Structure 1
Amino acid sequence: MKRFSIRAGLVFGMTMALLPVAGAGISAPAAFAQSAPASAVSAPIQTLYKALDQVQNAHSSFADRSQMVAGAVDQAYDLEAVLKASVGLRYDSLSPSDKQNLLAAFRNFTIARYVSSFKPGSGARFTVSPSVTDAPAGGGKIVETHIGSDDSMPGTAVSYIMHNEGGAWKITDVLLSDSRISQAAAQRSDFSSTLNSGGVQGLINVLNRKVQSYSKD
């Protein structure tokens, strides 16, 4: 049976950082979020995990499996929020066209990373906690999950920071393991280094190369 690597599959590079706690006060949307039913908050993650379960049982091409995951990623993630957190303060100074092109490359990278991590025969099992907790700031919620295999349950802890945008719950960050390692924070160091050396196009090129690498793995 092929094995999957949660840490390698969900983190862009090896640099790790703890999730920063930012923001103060609770806005009207945040106050609404506090009373949201747990099932509504975790629904996008259930959709994502259902798609990942399907692709690891679908013996089809990488492109076909990417199509299966794409819709779930679009539904589950606020990819622009994740990208903005991964880039940092520099994101706001990018031109609209640079943001659009970078977001398209980041979307393809996110999809390809999932498809590569959950290959046919991976045997991953997904469990989602029936309850949610409050995020440390911003009025969001945290959904706790585990990803493991038949012989390693409950497996690796993977938690999601969820925010309500326009009435829809979306993932804005992923926390890996019990130490609450932030995926966006881990990516920020890598993204910043690439932006410093090659600009936006340099980062797009790196993401595109990673997609190509994942498709051949």
Structure 2
Amino acid sequence: MMLRSRRFLLAAVCSTALFPVGAFAQTASGSPTAPVSALNAGLISIMKAGEQTPFLQRFQTLAPIVDQVFDLPRILRISVGSYWSGLPAAQQQKLQQVFRSFIIATYVANFQSYNGEVSSISPQTRSVGAEQVVTSLLAKPSGDSWRIDYVMGQATAGWKIQDILLDGTISRVAVQRSDFASLLSDGNATQLIASLEQKVSTLSAGAISS
């Protein structure tokens, strides 16, 4: 099940754009499109760095961007579901740590070279309740393209990515919640933590320890 989650994440995050690395700082913090621009810029940076750059270095380059643009605590709570409130504080903290590493390591492992990919971000967003959906279209030099929608929500620090919709409908958080369910029990996330730790180790070839 965790493999399915990784495949979904890979498909959903394949959105890259030719933005300068400092794009987020230069974009109005009040815009829901700003975090998507920042993510694209970070991905371009690590793609151009390539596999000749140590995994840990690329991980450290992308980590602060992921922290800034994703609402990871919220995403994790929803992915864990009703089990979250029953977990000991120490397990909640460990899950947050290893989940963050898993997300970053998955990006780094799957964006290792730049081959001319370009994406466009629609300046127009659509409202879904209190959230805004930002649409990004990825185009490859071959002419193939696909659409990714980012669900943006207001957090204390401004707009954050709260979910990713592949083909405009399939929620990555919902898929992740389904995958996590078999690894959770009341008051115990040991299996999920171990599974995520193993994934991080595999993705990074042992360069990252959670």
> Which TM-score applies when normalising by structure 1?
0.77
Moved over 6 A (4+): none
2-structure distance, mates of 1:66, 1:181:
27
Q: What SS does structure 1 have at the residue aligned with 2:48? A: coil
Preserved contact between residue 160 and residue 172 of structure 1 (Cα < 8 Å): yes
Change (3 A) 1:197 1:124: farther
1:214, CA displacement in angstroms?
A: 1.3
Preserved contact between residue 42 and residue 65 of structure 2 (Cα < 8 Å): yes
Residue matched to 2:24: none
Residue matched to 1:82: 75
Q: How does 1:111-122 map to 2 (within 5 A)?
A: 111-122=104-115
1:201 equivalent in alignment to 2:190: yes
Which sits farther off after the overlay, 187-196 or 106-115? 187-196
- Whichever residue aligns with residue 60 of structure 2, its letter is Q
Preserved contact between residue 44 and residue 114 of structure 2 (Cα < 8 Å): no
Residue matched to 2:103: 110
Q: What SS does structure 2 have at the residue aligned with 1:50? A: helix
Query: CA RMSD for the aligned pairs?
Result: 2.5
2-structure distance, mates of 1:206, 1:198:
17
2-structure distance, mates of 1:177, 1:46:
19
For structure 1, the residue ranges without an aligned partner over 5 or more in a row are 1-6, 13-36
2-structure distance, mates of 1:49, 1:173:
16
Residue matched to 1:95: 88
Preserved contact between residue 11 and residue 187 of structure 1 (Cα < 8 Å): no
1:205, CA displacement in angstroms?
A: 1.0
Residue matched to 1:157: 147
Preserved contact between residue 9 and residue 113 of structure 1 (Cα < 8 Å): no
2-structure distance, mates of 1:125, 1:214:
25
> Which TM-score applies when normalising by structure 2?
0.79
Residue matched to 2:63: 70
Which sits farther off after the overlay, 85-94 or 64-73? 85-94
1-structure distance, mates of 2:100, 2:83:
19
Residue matched to 1:210: 199
For structure 2, the residue ranges without an aligned partner over 5 or more in a row are 1-5, 12-27
Change (3 A) 1:55 1:9: farther
2-structure distance, mates of 1:183, 1:43:
20
1:46 equivalent in alignment to 2:37: yes
Among 183, 186, 191, the alignment partner of 2:175 is: 186
**Quick one: percent identity of the two aligned structures?**
33
How many residue pairs end up in the alignment? 183
Change (3 A) 1:83 1:11: farther
2-structure distance, mates of 1:145, 1:207:
28
1:199, CA displacement in angstroms?
A: 3.4
- Whichever residue aligns with residue 191 of structure 1, its letter is F
**Deviation by residue 1:69-100 (Cα, 9 ceiling, x = unmatched):** 10110010010111111111111222222111
Change (3 A) 1:44 1:161: same
